[in-house]
Structure formats: C-alpha cells, structure tokens
Structure 1
Amino acid sequence: MTIAIGDALPSATFKEKTADGPVETTTDALFKGKRVVLFAVPGAFTPTCSLNHLPGYLENRDTILGKGVDDIAVIAVNDWHVMGAWAQSSGGLGKIHFLADWNAAFTKALGLDADLSGGGLGIRSKRYSMLVEDGVVKSLNVEENPGQATVSSAATMIEQL
C-alpha cells in the first residue's frame, strides 16, 4: 500500500554524513513536532536528480523555509558515502539533509519503491515530494516518470505551502 495524505510516516533510521562523520537519524528526530519538506530521488548523481530536482530545492531553500517550514531533506536509496559526496559536490552540505535509505526499508514502507533494474539501477525510490507536519503527510506529489521532476519540484511545493 502506498502512503497517502493523512498517513503517519513509518518509523525508520537513516544515515547522514556530517562534519563529524556519519550519524544515524530517525524519523522521530527529523519530523516530530516539525514541518518538513521531504523529496526523494531515484539516485544521487543521476542526471535529472542532479541537474533539475536537487538544484530547485537548494536555490529555493530560503523561500521554502520562509513559508514556515522547519527543514528540508532529500532521500535516496544510496549509501551515506554517496549521499555525502552528493551533498558536498552540489553545495548542499549543511543546507538540507541528505538521507541515505541504503537498504530501501523506508522507501518500501512508503510503498514508493520502483524496480529500475532495466536502467541498471536496481530497486530505487520513485521521485516524489511531500510536506510532513509532525510526522503526518500533508501533501504528496509522485512523478509518473522517474526522468521528470515537475509535480515534485520545488516550484510545485512552494505553491502548496
């Protein structure tokens, strides 16, 4: 079953690279008592993710936070080394959370996993964005095509805020 508006996020633990090395972060730590924009990409460093989806959120970070959002996070089915390198190379380190869902546990629990083996990627996340308030999904925007970042874009999210 796919998560829907009004549903609570499932409990999960992510890894994130920080200046002090890798840290584990839980859904409670990220979302409890907060208003957070979460967006997911099929893979760090992939073309649409790196050239379109992530840059929109980085460029509009202040606008999003200015609309009462406490935090922004991106998640991918990649390990924390890859997510940390992506954060560093994109200029996003320290600006938004780069969460590694290394075994796709969270992604599968949401029902937003996709088998992209045909493209050589294996099990990954569908591309989506959501607004989460105190752990509950308030808006959800899932792309039909993983090569597109329109309904899950920062611009769409800003309109919804």
Structure 2
Amino acid sequence: MTIKVGDAVPVTTLIKATSDGPAPVTTAELFGGRTVALFSVPGAFTPTCSAKHLPGFVDNAAAMAAHGVDEIVCVSVNDAFVMAAWGKSAGADGKVTMIADGNGDFSAALGLTFDGSKFGMGVRGQRFSMLVKDGIVTKLNIEDPGAFGVSSAEHLMAQLG
C-alpha cells in the first residue's frame, strides 16, 4: 500500500555517511519531533536528479528553513558513499542531508518503488517529495513515471504557504 497524507512514516533504518563512516539512522530519529522536507530521487548523479531535483532543494534551503523546515533530506536507493559524494559535488553540505536507502527497504515500506531493471538500475525509489511533521506525512507529491514537477523544491515551497 502506498503511503498517504496523514500516515506515519514507516519504521525503518537508513544509512548516512559520517566522518566515521556509514552510520545507521532510524526514521524515528530522522522525523521525530520536527519538520522535515524529504525528497526521493531514482538515482544519484542521474540527469534530472543532478540538473534539477537536488539543486532546487539546495537553492531553496534557507527559504524552507524560514518556513519552519528543520531539515531537508534527500533519499535514494544508492549507498552512503555515493550519496555523500553526490551531495558534496552538488554543494549540498549544510543544506540537504543525503541519506542512503541502499536496499530500498524504506522506499518499499512507503509503497513507492519502481523496477528500473530495463535500464540496469534494479528496483529504485520513485521520484517524490513530502513534508513530514513529527513523523506524520502532511504533504505528499508523487511524480508520474518519467515526470519532474510536483516533487520539485519550488512546488513544495508553494505548499508551505
């Protein structure tokens, strides 16, 4: 079943690159007691993700913070090392937290996966954005396959009012 507005974010563990190496972070730790703008991309360093999706959130980080967003999180079915390198190359440090869903468990728990095997990518997370307040989804924007628009930083910013 696909997550929807009003649902609690499922309990799973993701991986974040730290100076001490990859470290687990639970969704309870990530989303509990605060407001988080989360967006998912099919893959780090892929064309739309690198040219539009991540840069939009990097560019809008201060404006989102001014609207009460405590943290912006980017998640992808990649490993923590790839996510860290992508974030560094995109200037995301201090603006967007890069989180790995290496096995796709989080994406699957959300009901937001797709099979990219015909592109050599395996099962990946769909492109989406959401606003999560204290672990509850308050805004959810799921893209149609191949599209980019409703999951953008600009669209989520408009929803913050």
Q: Common fold, TM-score beyond 0.5?
A: yes
Matches within 5 A, 1:33-52: 33-52=33-52
The DSSP-based 3-state class of the residue aligned with 2:141 is: strand
Give 2:156's aligned residue.
157
Q: Which stretch has the larger CA shift, 44-53 or 94-103?
A: 94-103
User: For 2:93 and 2:22, how far apart are their aligned partners in 1?
Assistant: 13
**Could you tell me how far apart the structure 2 residues matched to 1:122 and 1:152 are?**
22
Structure 2 unaligned spans of 5+: none
| Other-structure match for 1:17 | 17
- What is the rounded CA distance, in whole Å, between the counterparts of 2:98 and 2:14 in structure 1? 9
Residue identity over aligned pairs, in percent, reads 50
Give the drift of 1:102: 0.5
Tell me the number of residue pairs that the alignment of Structure 1 and Structure 2 aligns: 160
Structure 1 position 20, deviation (Å): 3.3
The letter for the 1-side match of 2:155 is T
Aligned partner letter, 2:108: K
Q: TM-score, normalised by structure 2?
A: 0.96
Amino acid at match of 1:158: M
Q: CA deviation at 1:15?
A: 0.9
Distance apart, 1:17 and its partner CA: 1.1
Q: Alpha-carbon deviation of 1:23?
A: 1.7
Establish whether residue 134 from structure 1 lines up as the match of residue 134 from structure 2: yes
Over residues 6-37 of structure 1, what are the superposed CA-to-partner deviations in whole Å (9 max), with x where a residue is unaligned? 00010111111123332211111111010100
1:99-139 CA-to-partner distances (Å, cap 9, x unmatched) read 10000001001000100111221100100000000000001
Aligned residue in 2 for 1:72:
72
**1:123 aligned to 2:133?**
no
SS at match of 1:30: helix
- Is residue 2:53 matched to residue 1:53? yes
Shift of 1:145: 2.3
RMSD across aligned C-alpha pairs, in angstroms?
1.0
**Alignment partner, residue 89 of structure 1:** 89
- Provide runs of 4+ in structure 1 moved above 6 Å: none
Letter in 1 for 2:159: Q
Taking the aligned partners of 1:20 and 1:121, their CA distance within structure 2 comes to 28
In structure 2, what is the Cα distance between the partners aligned to 1:88 and 1:23?
A: 17
CA distance in 1, matches of 2:143, 2:57: 16
Alpha-carbon displacement from aligned partner over 1:36-66 (angstroms, at most 9, x marks no partner): 0000000000000000000000001000111
- 1: CA distance, partners of 2:18 / 2:65: 21
1:129 is paired with a residue of what secondary structure? strand
Tell me what 1:62 maps to: 62
